[in-house]
Structure formats: structure tokens, C-alpha cells
Amino acid sequence: GQNIDQPTEMTATEGAIVQINCTYQTSGFNGLFWYQQHAGEAPTFLSYNVLDGLEEKGRFSSFLSRSKGYSYLLLKELQMKDSASYLCAVSGRTGRRALTFGSGTRLQVQP
């Protein structure tokens, strides 16, 4: 089976940096995704990691350690519009390309 854990809620201040962690246990691994989802909307793609290390994309970075079953999403220079849910999702073994999602982390950015 597959199990993905991430914190339920986080609060941070505008302009600050926040790190959202995700741990996973899966049968097979074809990559880890981070999505952003605003209330009432569909998820939008943020990042994809399949190899160990850090992927940087503007204010957002994502890190993966396959040996530890661990990833984090780093958001820099937080803006009010970053208030949303952040979903960690894993693509399982080859042939099963569907994503298994964590429960999501609701981030509240305060002034």
C-alpha cells in the first residue's frame, strides 16, 4: 500500500520562508509531485522530483530523498496569495501512473 504524511496546517508571515514536509511509504516509486490548491479550485502543478536533490523554480523549491522517503516544499518571500493547500503526491510503480495524494497542508500567510 501507499502512505503519505504531511502536516495538516501551517501558519507563516508574509515575506518569510516556510518549509512543508512530506514523508511517504510506497510500493514502487516513479516520482513525487507538489501541487497547490486554492479553495474550490483544482490543483495546479508546482514541482516534480524523481531523483534525489533540490529542484529550484523561482520562489518555490522542492527536495527529495528517496532513501528516507522524504520530501519538502520550500516557499520563499511568502505572499498573501500563497495561502492555499499544498498537496504532496506520489506516482507509484511503473504501469500504475495514478497519483496517491497526501491529505494536504493548509498554509495561512499572515500580514
Partner 1 sequence: GAVVSQHPSRVICKSGTSVKIECRSLDFQATTMFWYRQFPKQSLMLMATSNEGSKATYEQGVEKDKFLINHASLTLSTLTVTSAHPEDSSFYICSARDSGSGGQETQYFGPGTRLLVL
Name which of residues 35 to 74 contact partner 1 (CB under 8 A): 35, 40-45, 48, 50
Helix ranges (H only) for the chain are: none
Q: Is 84 in the site for partner 1 (CB under 8 A)?
A: no
- Please give the size of the binding site for partner 1, defined by CB under 8 A: 24
- What whole-number distance in Å separates Cα of residue 95 and Cα of residue 103? 24
Dmax over CA atoms of the chain, in Å, equals 45
Length of the chain: 111
- What whole-number distance in Å separates Cα of residue 71 and Cα of residue 89? 10
Q: Whose Cβ is closer to partner 1: residue 69's or residue 102's?
A: 102
Q: Is 17 in the site for partner 1 (CB under 8 A)?
A: no
What residues line the site for partner 1 (CB under 8 A)? 30-31, 33, 35, 40-45, 48, 50, 87, 89, 91, 96-104
